[in-house]
A and B are shown apart, each in its own frame.
Chain A
Amino acid sequence: MLFFKRQWPIIVAFSVGIVMWARYYIPTEQSRTIQDVFTNWDRIIFGFAAALAVLSMLHHHYTKVRRKRPGYAFSYITLGSFVVMALAGFLPLHLPGFTGIQRESEGLHMWMFNWMFVPMQATMFSVLAFFIASAAFRAFRARSTEATALLVTACLMMIGRVPVGEWIANNSHHFQRFGNEYKALDFPALASWLLNVPNAAAQRGILLGLILSYVAIAIRIIFGIERTYMGGGD
């Protein structure tokens, strides 16, 4: 049994890793078939895992309600919503006021999805605007040299990205240098420079490290050097 717990997953990870890596370079039909087979297996595993996940969710909320843990009222709502949505999706319900059946757009299930779920999603997303404001307020306090640099850069960027920045640039002093015309307070150009030069340089540096990390972690997993994700670890 220990073999199936320790060695077997490493053998599988190594074999599948090598096959999928080689497959990337081989353009034949067989290579595509292998990819399709693994994709199908992935879907099948996801299907079973989804069933386990639903059970896990129900178990968690049921336990919370049974033990009356803090906030258990929300678990009632979750369980109730789950049952109602599932019944509306699976059963051929027809309720007064809803002129569609099952999953039709005028049916109860899609009505709840379109007019309850989607607005709630949109609400969560729109809260982001307020969170950006509060995070910016905290981040832009000039507590250190780096924070001050961040504050100044952010202010320049904001001015460069709003119409008033354009207006200031157009109404500032224009001068000729090296055969080109420049504006004294050209905030949009400064904002573009900040984005395209220092910001792009930093991002590319991070990206380079990331890509090498992807390859390195893939090699660690394929060769069984990294095994934590299988459980057991060291």
Chain B
Amino acid sequence: MRTKWWLVGLSLAMALGLAPPGPQTALALAPYPSEVAVFDIPNDDGTNLGVTWQWFGALEPETKITIEVEVSPDILDQFRLTPGEQQRLDGARSELAQALAPLIPERDAAQKDSDAANDALQLAKANKAPDTPALLRDYWSKQSKLDSLNARIEYFRMVFASRTRARGMTKDLDQKSRIFEFLQASLAQSSWLPTDVHDVDPATLDKIKDHPEIFGQKPEHEDWSFAALDKMVATNPAVIAGTYSDKPDQYAFTAPRTLDVELQKNHVYNVRMVIQQPEARPIIAELGGAETRVNYFSVSKLNNFVFAILFAIVILAAVMIARRNPNMFIRRIQGLEAVDEAIGRATEMGKPVLYLCGLDPLGNLNTLAAINVLGRVARRIADYDSDLVVPCCDPVVLTVAQEVVKDAYIDRGRPDAYREDKIYFVTADQFAYTAATCGIMMREKPAANFFMGGYYAESLLLAETGASTGAIQIAGTDALAQLPFFITTCDYTLIGEELFAASAYLSREPMLLGSLKGQDLGKALIMLLILVQSLLFAAEIVLTKLGYDIPLDFLKTMVHAL
């Protein structure tokens, strides 16, 4: 009770302006962070601290907060240049200044000329003056001169940067020295430096629930505020001295007002919060301290890691079993059974087979799957002596598709039948590619169309055009939104995972079929877990309604973690 009266008295004194001037120690009655935790973020590279808290007391509108870290002067040692480095930097700066000395005045004059020419041009354009083309040419020549001078200055700056950057360094010596100067000046003012959470509205800050990668999917106190700190802000000494100018210096460099400096690894920082309410003195809350530790494993991805290892073991085991017992049963996939029929029909009709690999780049697994199927289809086409046309929309996919088809023809002893100009680049633009491919379908009337890989809005345009030409169409994609269009317009559609199984299915290679079996085992395991989890939830509801209180949370958490 005594403490409470003391706090009320002090807050009244604050309200009346009787409290001592300057920042105050925080009061529990004011809007104040409570339940504060300052901690090292467990899945980062050692340059982040996390702070969580809840608000004790209501916040005034337009309240701003700044989170500051206490920095000890020994941090300067990390940015202090050695005599050798200083000498190297001075030499490079002197050379740069010498090289830029005649260029900078010339560039400034060219900038003025260009601006004046542009003003005259804009005026002439507005007045529709007859001399507009002449003014345009004048502006263009002045702008070209300015561009050329800027390019030369930039060249000298690049030479400077390459001379001052040592191998393996993330910052060049120039930047390092600036950080040193900024930090030194800032620390001379105060040992508390603002962080990147600087003058922000507390309402815009994240909550604990916004970061499942740190706090998990079902965190406690999910509505508490969270801020990640990874930078401290150092101020330009010229700004502190009041002599700052934003004009470029003799090195053609405009010094910034402040510099963001990463929090140093394996360093203990004390953290505090400055709460600035409108028309009130700032309130300072000490939040505590924590060390920024380098983490070599992202703990939040542990379940992913365990699953990946288990799944890899299952697949590799299935592959080993398949090597011993090659006669494995794989369910029939109608779309892939129809590949021979489609190619046979094309051969009989003397028409080509059109194969599209989708719009995604080669880095996407659906495109890799499409390329794998292309290799198998090309082998069959080489056997049947039919024609294959592959228009591509990605340069890398084109290069790989050409190699894959060429090797398929060589593999089947038909290198003479391979024609590189049938596998060609059309364009990288979605609808231009669609228009071109639809044109090919209408002109060449392929007897079979294969649409494998990733597709977007163009899927229906392609498949509907193909359907109108009477071709047999086989599609395979992992794009869920496009599946209905393919199912509607194609004769056969490989849905999702069937696309990825296609290569193994067509090759009938025991090792590839074994990996499919392993994949099915993994799927069975996940289905089992989903079933068990559903039963646990249902059992909990039923038992609770019947009046039994059996705690199933532990089991549910275990299954969820799995």
Which A residues form the contact surface with B (CB < 8 A)?
Answer: 21, 24-29, 31-32, 42, 45-46, 49-50, 52-54, 56-57, 59-60, 63, 70-71, 74, 92, 94, 96, 99, 101, 117, 120-121, 124-125, 127-128, 131-132, 134-136, 138-139, 203, 206-210, 212-221, 223, 225-226, 228-234
Given known contacts A206-B480, A225-B515, A228-B375, is B497 in contact with A101 (CB within 8 Å)? no
**Complex alpha-carbon distance, A136 and B488, angstroms:** 8
Q: Is the CB of B379 within 8 A of A233?
A: yes
Residue of B375, B431, B515 touching A231 (CB-CB under 8 A): B375
Q: How far is the CB of B220 from chain A (nearest CB, A)?
A: 24
A71 touches B480 (CB 8 A): no
Stretch at the interface among B55-63, B149-157, B195-203, B400-408: B400-408
Closest to B315 in A: A219
Q: How many residues of B contact A (CB 8 A)?
A: 92
**A232 CB contact (under 8 Å) in B45, B311, B371, B411:** B411
Are B316 and A219 interface neighbours, CB within 8 A?
yes
Contact of B497 with A209 in the complex, beta carbons under 8 Å:
yes
Task: Give the Cβ gap from A193 to chain B, nearest Cβ, in Å.
Answer: 18
Distance of B469 from chain A, by nearest CB (Å): 14
Smallest beta-carbon distance A109→chain B, Å: 15
Q: Which of B494-539 contact A (CB under 8 A)?
A: 495-497, 499-501, 503-504, 507, 509, 511-512, 515-516, 518-519, 522-523, 526
Q: Is the CB of B404 within 8 A of A229?
A: yes
Bits for B324-347, please: 1 = Cβ < 8 Å to A, else 0. Answer: 000000000000000000000000
Contact string against A for B residues 34-45, beta-carbon threshold 8 Å, 1 for contact and 0 otherwise: 000000000111
| Interface residue from B45, B375, B497, B522 paired with A29 (Cβ < 8 Å) | B45
Near A by CB (< 8 A), chain B positions 269-320 give 294-298, 301, 304-305, 308, 311-312, 315-316, 319
| B420-432 to A contact mask, C-beta < 8 Å, 1/0 | 0100111101111
A56, B424: Cβ atoms closer than 8 Å = yes
Q: Report A-chain residues with C-beta under 8 Å of the C-beta of B399.
A: 49, 52-53
The answer to whether the Cβ of B8 comes within 8 Å of any Cβ in the partner chain is: no
Q: How far is the CA of A31 from the CA of B403 in the complex (A)?
A: 32
User: In the complex, which of the residues A31, A52, A225, A233 has the most CB atoms of chain B within 10 Å of its own CB atom?
Assistant: A233
- Chain A residues near B23 (CB-CB < 8 A): none
Give the contact stretch, choosing among B66-74, B129-137, B544-552.
Answer: B129-137
* B174 interfacial contact with A, CB 8 Å: no
Contact for A214 among B315, B319, B365, B371, CB less than 8 A: B365
* Cβ contacts under 8 Å, A223 to chain B: 316
Which residues of chain B have C-beta atoms less than 8 A from A139's C-beta?
488-489
Q: Please state if A210 and B478 are interface contacts (CB–CB under 8 Å).
A: yes
Q: Look across to chain A and name the residue whose beta carbon is closest to the beta carbon of B501.
A: A213
Most chain B C-beta atoms within 10 Å of own C-beta, residue among A57, A63, A121: A57
The answer on a CB contact under 8 Å between B125 and A99 is: yes
Contact call A229/B523, Cβ cutoff below 8 A: no
Query: From residue B420, how far is it (CB to closest CB) to chain A in Å?
Result: 8
The SS class assigned to the B binding surface is helix
Contact B136 A125 (CB under 8 A): no
How far, in Å, is A217 (CB) from chain B's closest CB? 5
Beta-carbon contact of A56 and B425 below 8 Å = yes
Q: Is B417 an interface residue (CB 8 A)?
A: no
Is the Cβ of A217 less than 8 Å from the Cβ of B365? yes
Within the complex, the shortest CB–CB distance from A92 to chain B, in Å, comes to 7
Return the contact of A46 from the options B312, B396, B424 (Cβ within 8 A): B396
Check if B461 sits within 8 Å of A53, measured CB to CB. Answer: no
Alpha-carbon gap, A229 to B435, bound state (A): 27
Give the CA-CA distance A117 to B136 in the complex, in Å.
26
A139 to B483, CA, bound (A): 13
**Which single residue of chain A is at the shortest CB-CB distance from B374?**
A228
User: Which residues on the A side are within 8 Å of B424 (C-beta)?
Assistant: 56-57, 59-60
**Distance to closest chain B CB from A19 (angstroms):** 15
Nearest Cβ on chain B to A91's Cβ, whole angstroms? 13
A215–B309 CA distance with the chains assembled, in angstroms: 11
Given the interface pairs A71-B439, A226-B372, A226-B512, the reply to whether A210 lies near B404 with Cβ below 8 Å is: no
18 pairs of residues in contact across A and B, judged by CB atoms under 8 Å:
A25-B305, A53-B399, A57-B425, A57-B427, A70-B443, A71-B439, A71-B443, A101-B136, A121-B431, A128-B461, A135-B467, A206-B496, A215-B522, A216-B519, A223-B316, A225-B319, A229-B375, A232-B407
